[in-house]
Amino acid sequence: MSDLGFSFSLSQLWQVAGGQIILLIAGLVLIFVDLWLSTDKKPDHVATMGWLTALSFLVALWHMIGTEWTLNEIVLVDVFSADKFAIFVSAIVLMAGIFASLMSIGYLRNNKLVRSEYFILLLFAVYGTIAMVQSVDLLMMFIALEVMSLSVYVLAAFLKDDRRSQEGALKYFLLGSFGSAFFLFGVGLMYGLTGTVNITKIAQVLSTGPLLENPGVLVAMAMLMSGLFFKMALVPFHMWTPDVYEGSPAIITGFMATAVKAGAFGIFIKLLSVTFTPILAHSGQPEFQSTVNLAALAVYWKPLLWWLALITMFVGNLVAVSQKNVKRMLAYSSIAHAGYMVLGILAANDEGRMGVLFYLFAYTLMNMGAFGVLYLFDGQEGKAQTLDDYKGLGFKYPALSFMMALFLVSMAGLPPTAGFIGKFYLFAAAIKEGYLLLAALGILTCVIGAYYYLRVIWMLYMVEPSRDVVAGRVGVPSMIALIAAALGIMYLGILPEGLSQVANVAQQGLAMVF
């Protein structure tokens, strides 16, 4: 188990953290490739950078699924683990990365942005997220979180001439740092109380010692959680989200709402399940048999999550209704989706964790897809950004509009789409634990959600066009990404069992001692 000490072989390193290594090397190599291609003189080469980035993600994904998923020895120097849960979340992040890099090729071209450092930043953002999800050490988690955050801050500010982008990025940076500081405070307190930063060891100390009587544990837990709530954008920690999402480049917004959020949810679930819930009692290790202490902690965080889920769903959905700008509307809706996922975390059962993983997967497909269409509509002449601009586009751009409608129907949680199945899993998990009232209230917010998603569709199909909108050119990479997302949503909507079983195996990985 975790008595590997500091001696490890290179092959072990490769096995456990190969995905990260691939991304790191690819990031460094691509910096030189960029110089060699001299993309600022030859704009066409930006596309090459995009394809190479997507390829790096694909290779990392292949390694993670092929090697890391099958490992039994999963811990490396008490820092990283290749547990199945982390790999599943990493796969979602990589998938979002692939979508983002493919779509960005078209995005950068349509917006005449000839700067390929974009892709390198994207690579490091994905690398940071994966390192964060794979780490079992709070300090490492923090460092990886910062790697991710710093890359994303720069990406958010990528539209140099757009003041909204600048404003959003600055806001993101300030509030994000605030959130990180909270997290770091929590790490410090936890270390002071337990003498370790490894999450399983913290659980061990907490479950055996009388530390629970110390209110410091609760303060530390609250700080760690609030730091993550910022990244997960739960109400009332969501204030930065709309501005950042509206100001950032469309694809980056999609990336933040899926990959970054998946990473934050990943470590939140990991931390909560391993450290603050007696899930390790299922691991069979004797030192985790006494679960009373940890079970007592749930008394504190469950009501908290109950209220957070409720107000997040309500605020996200209600405020989205009054948005005129489609991108901003999707930003608020992503807050609401985070609320649905909290429902699954609150349930704290196998179904709930599985549901969150499934939902993150499905949400990545539909959200990246929606932002893909969004950037295309926001393309050339008469850029379509508000609901009014979307009027009548449905019969002008039938394929794009149909896909947009499909993604939105999936977000609204209507069958036969992945969004419906995901929502079903989440609500079923909550109902199983007896949260009938919360589920009923939550599902009512879904009706509000359905209203504003359908409003986009009716603008597309039921209203005459108000002005001339010319969509951007749909390149091959964007087309591949959009079609893959649409097919994935339909497939998972009709045959979800395969993925949900994989997700279930993945969440069982949490019950192993790192």
Q: Which of 38, 70, 208, 501 binds other proteins (CB under 8 A)?
A: 501
Tokens of 178: 């605030």
Residue 348 corresponds to which amino acid? A
Instruction: Write the binding mask 357 to 396 for other proteins: x where contact by CB under 8 A, - elsewhere.
Output: --------------------------------------x-
Q: Which of 25, 55, 239, 436 binds other proteins (CB under 8 A)?
A: 436
Compute CA distances 355 → 55, 99, 362, whole Å.
29, 22, 10
CA dihedral (420, 423, 429, 430) positive or negative: negative
3-state helix, strand, coil in the chain (%, to 5): 75, 0, 20
Of the pair 218, 462, the CB lying nearest other proteins is at: 462
Q: Which of 51, 185, 191, 458 binds other proteins (CB under 8 A)?
A: 458
The answer to whether the CB of 339 falls within 8 A of the CB of 234 is yes
Element holding 76 (H helix, E strand): strand 75-76
Beta bridge pairs of residue 364: none
Rounded to the nearest whole angstrom, what is the least distance from the CB of residue 453 to other proteins in the complex? Answer: 11
DSSP codes joined into one string, 296-349: HHHHHHHHHHHHHHHHHHHHHHHHHHT--BHHHHHHHHHHHHHHHHHHHHHH-S
Pick the closest to residue 97 from 52, 142, 140 (CA basis). Answer: 52
Start-end of H helices in 38-82: 45-66
| 504 lies in the binding site for other proteins (CB under 8 A) | yes
| 487 lies in the binding site for other proteins (CB under 8 A) | no
Question: What distance in Å separates the CA atoms of residue 172 and residue 170, rounded to the nearest whole number?
Answer: 5
The answer to whether the CB of 333 falls within 8 A of the CB of 407 is no
Q: Which of 24, 29, 114, 450 binds other proteins (CB under 8 A)?
A: 450
Range in contact with other proteins (rule: CB under 8 A) among 38-46, 100-108, 140-148, 461-469: 461-469
Range in contact with other proteins (rule: CB under 8 A) among 25-33, 40-48, 80-88, 455-463: 455-463
Of the pair 176, 442, the CB lying nearest other proteins is at: 442
| 188 lies in the binding site for other proteins (CB under 8 A) | no
| 428 lies in the binding site for other proteins (CB under 8 A) | yes
Rounded to the nearest whole angstrom, what is the least distance from the CB of residue 106 to other proteins in the complex? Answer: 26
The answer to whether the CB of 441 falls within 8 A of the CB of 408 is no
The answer to whether the CB of 277 falls within 8 A of the CB of 206 is no
Rounded to the nearest whole angstrom, what is the least distance from the CB of residue 449 to other proteins in the complex? Answer: 10
Q: Which of 424, 466, 480, 484 binds other proteins (CB under 8 A)?
A: 424
Q: Which of 461, 466, 479, 505 binds other proteins (CB under 8 A)?
A: 461
CA dihedral (37, 40, 42, 45) positive or negative: positive
Q: Which of 57, 127, 153, 427 binds other proteins (CB under 8 A)?
A: 427
Question: What distance in Å separates the CA atoms of residue 454 and residue 452, rounded to the nearest whole number?
Answer: 5
The answer to whether the CB of 151 falls within 8 A of the CB of 132 is no
| 462 lies in the binding site for other proteins (CB under 8 A) | yes
| 468 lies in the binding site for other proteins (CB under 8 A) | no
Of the pair 226, 386, the CB lying nearest other proteins is at: 386
| 88 lies in the binding site for other proteins (CB under 8 A) | no
Rounded to the nearest whole angstrom, what is the least distance from the CB of residue 67 to other proteins in the complex? Answer: 27
| 58 lies in the binding site for other proteins (CB under 8 A) | no
Question: What distance in Å separates the CA atoms of residue 96 and residue 57, rounded to the nearest whole number?
Answer: 10
Of the pair 371, 425, the CB lying nearest other proteins is at: 425
Question: What distance in Å separates the CA atoms of residue 378 and residue 109, rounded to the nearest whole number?
Answer: 13
Q: Residues in the site for other proteins, rule: CB under 8 A?
A: 395, 409, 414-416, 420, 424, 427-428, 431-432, 436, 439-440, 443-444, 446-447, 450-451, 454-455, 458, 461-463, 496-497, 500-501, 504
